[in-house]
Amino acid sequence: MATSPAPVSNPHAQQTTRPRQGWRRLLTSVALAAAGVGAVLFGSGALRGGPIAGRPAEARAEAAVQRHVIAYFPIWARNSGYTENDVDFNVVTDVAHFAVTPRPDGSIQIPDWGPFPDPALVARTHAAGARIVLVAGGDDEAARAGFSGLAASAATRQAFVSNLLRLVDANGYDGVDLDWEFPGSAADRDNLTALIHDLRAALGPNRSLSMSAGPTDYRGRWLDIAAIVPDLTWFSSMTYDMGGAGWSTYADDNAALHPGRPGEDNVADSAAYYLGRGVPAAKLMIGLPFFGQRYDQATGVYAPLSAPSSGSTPDYKDIAGLVNRGWEQGRNPTTQTPYLQRQDGPGVITYDDAASIAAKCQYVVSSGIGGVIVWRLGQDVVGNTQPLLHAAGACR
């Protein structure tokens, strides 16, 4: 917690109607509540294999001209035993520490999902020659209402900027990542532009400012790309949750590289959309999901569904244990992603594995895109390995 508290308190729909991580947040809420960490208002077991070799400190300056692998480390990750010693800094260039919640009055809610601040995470990241940014926002209603309310006036924007900068300065962060899911009106668009401008001025030239956005025009239309991109260090398209049982009318891929059926949202189209709107390739990040989408009522991939249907968003580590255990694996050469089909009845899981992560990295490199974001660290731990994170090293 900052030593000089100011107003700060506690509590990243890709498709057309729903938020990004609501299902995952719902599924983890019981575990988070069990942790019993109290909320605070500011202002109103390492994996085996030995220590990970860090890059020299000079490499932090080089990061601006390298592709980024920006990995989200949620505050609650420690509750399941994932720590800073498990982060492979041979792969990860930037840690995104997720997340504090904005409030309409400009104060900031410090979450009760796990320990915050986390000096060990900051110190380990810097010792490895990497950078760490503080994420503000999330997919919950509190974050949405907070951003929309505080951004609406100059006074509350300034309060938020001041409070956020106190947290950044007090805890050694290298920048700020905004996760407003999602601006939904012309007023939100203009107010977000003003907020980004204010934050950029306050952060100065040596600290990063970035944001996450939905992967399609349904959300992207409420962003003034030309106005905000000059102030941003990177711009992330959350190219996952592009299908899901809670909202989709087909059993679609979670993160197809190319469409598996006509009209399916996909990574390549999302990148083309934002590049076409003026995001420089070097600033554009695409999303790598370490989770999948389970459709309990689907009879096959792309089978029609009546939304919402039953399902979930399992971690890769849980999906991996189902292969050839009542579930048959397939792979779509067009989407370059795998899927599982239940053998004794309805049930489909679409997801990413090491091969599909590698294919996305090949796409990033060949397209000259600036890098990737990973949602999230800890979801791919299988035994003593992190196969998806290892595969993401090809994005560097």
Q: What is the pLDDT of residues 356-377, one digit of tens each?
A: 999 999 999 999 999 999 999 9
Q: What is the pLDDT of residues 263-300, one digit of tens each?
A: 999 999 999 999 999 999 999 999 999 999 999 999 99
Mean residue pLDDT of the chain comes to 87
Q: How confident is the model at residue 336 (pLDDT cuts 50, 70, 90)?
A: very high
Structure confidence at residue 24 (pLDDT): 41
Structure confidence at residue 19 (pLDDT): 33
Is residue 281 assigned to a domain? no
Structure confidence at residue 10 (pLDDT): 32
Indicate if the pLDDT at residue 170 is higher than 70.
yes
Q: Which of 62-66, 164-168, 278-282 has the lowest mean pLDDT?
A: 62-66
Indicate if the pLDDT at residue 154 is higher than 80.
yes
Q: What is the pLDDT of residues 234-256, one digit of tens each?
A: 999 999 999 999 999 999 999 99
Q: What is the C-alpha to C-alpha distance for residues 119 and 94, in angstroms, rounded to an integer?
A: 16
Q: What is the C-alpha to C-alpha distance for residues 235 and 193, in angstroms, rounded to an integer?
A: 14
List, in order, residues 6 or more apart from 33 with CB less than 8 Å away: none
Q: How confident is the model at residue 7 (pLDDT cuts 50, 70, 90)?
A: very low
Is residue 53 assigned to a domain? yes
Is residue 109 assigned to a domain? yes
Q: What is the mean pLDDT of residues 300-305?
A: 98
CB 240 within 8 A of CB 207: no
CB 205 within 8 A of CB 236: no
Q: In Å, what is the CA distance from 158 to each residue of 107, 170, 201, 233, 251?
A: 10, 18, 11, 21, 44
Domain interval for residue 126: 22-238
Closest CA to 287 of 39, 10, 11, 72: 72
Q: In Å, what is the CA distance from 257 to each residue of 239, 266, 369?
A: 9, 5, 14
Q: What is the pLDDT of residues 69-104, one digit of tens each?
A: 999 999 999 999 999 999 999 999 999 999 999 999
Distance of CA 179 to the CA centre of its chain: 8
Is residue 104 assigned to a domain? yes
Structure confidence at residue 191 (pLDDT): 98
CATH number for position 147: 3.20.20.80
Is residue 152 assigned to a domain? yes
Indicate if the pLDDT at residue 180 is higher than 90.
yes
What share of the chain has pLDDT > 70, as a percent? 84
Is residue 189 assigned to a domain? yes
Q: What is the mean pLDDT of residues 147-167?
A: 98
Closest CA to 335 of 365, 313, 315, 356: 356
Q: What is the mean pLDDT of residues 107-123?
A: 95
- DSSP sequence for 51-66: PPPPPPTTHHHHGGGS
Q: What is the mean pLDDT of residues 382-396?
A: 97
Is residue 71 assigned to a domain? yes
Is residue 181 assigned to a domain? yes
Q: Which of 34-43, 163-172, 191-200, 327-336 has the lowest mean pLDDT?
A: 34-43
Q: What is the mean pLDDT of residues 342-349?
A: 97
Q: What is the mean pLDDT of residues 121-125?
A: 98
Domain count, the chain: 1
Q: Between residues 10 and 42, which one has the greater pLDDT? A: 42
Indicate if the pLDDT at residue 126 is higher than 50.
yes
